[in-house]
A = this chain, B = another copy of it.
């Protein structure tokens, strides 16, 4: 099993991520790509800003990848996450998982994004025309 975990201030490259997880031992790749939506609850979003506690974010993503590899028979796990300013349509996150069989790839990929959203210290600020909000900060 091998993993590639990365925080990046520049545009994430989907093709590169998929190339990295591809291997002749694997029959299925599942990829999750987050994209910046143009609206939140109907309110137009101008852009997003992502901030990370880099060192801990990497450590938490590595933990998640390790847990996924313990739970499902997967060969390769890649997690790339953006930081900085993202425009509408840009990609905050790419998760790619390759496995011999597709069920493991789907399950692991979904587990990784679900868990990442709960535990990895990365914060998203939504910038609207009339203000800005740190997502999920308040009840």
Is the beta-carbon distance between A89 and B32 smaller than 8 angstroms? no
Is the beta-carbon distance between A29 and B33 smaller than 8 angstroms? yes
Is the beta-carbon distance between B34 and A28 smaller than 8 angstroms? yes
**A102: which B residues are within 8 A, CB to CB?**
32, 34, 113
Interface extent on A, as a size class? 20 to 34
CA A26 – CA B37 in complex, angstroms? Answer: 6
**A125: which B residues are within 8 A, CB to CB?**
none
Report A's interface with B, CB cutoff 8 A.
14-15, 18, 22-39, 88-89, 98, 100, 102, 105-106, 109-110, 113
A128 CB to nearest chain B CB (Å): 15
Question: Would you list 26 pairs from A and B whose C-beta atoms are within 8 A, ordered by A residue?
Answer: A14-B14, A18-B33, A22-B89, A24-B37, A24-B38, A24-B88, A25-B38, A25-B39, A26-B37, A27-B34, A27-B35, A27-B37, A28-B32, A28-B33, A28-B34, A29-B31, A29-B33, A29-B35, A30-B31, A30-B33, A30-B109, A31-B32, A31-B33, A32-B106, A37-B100, A102-B113
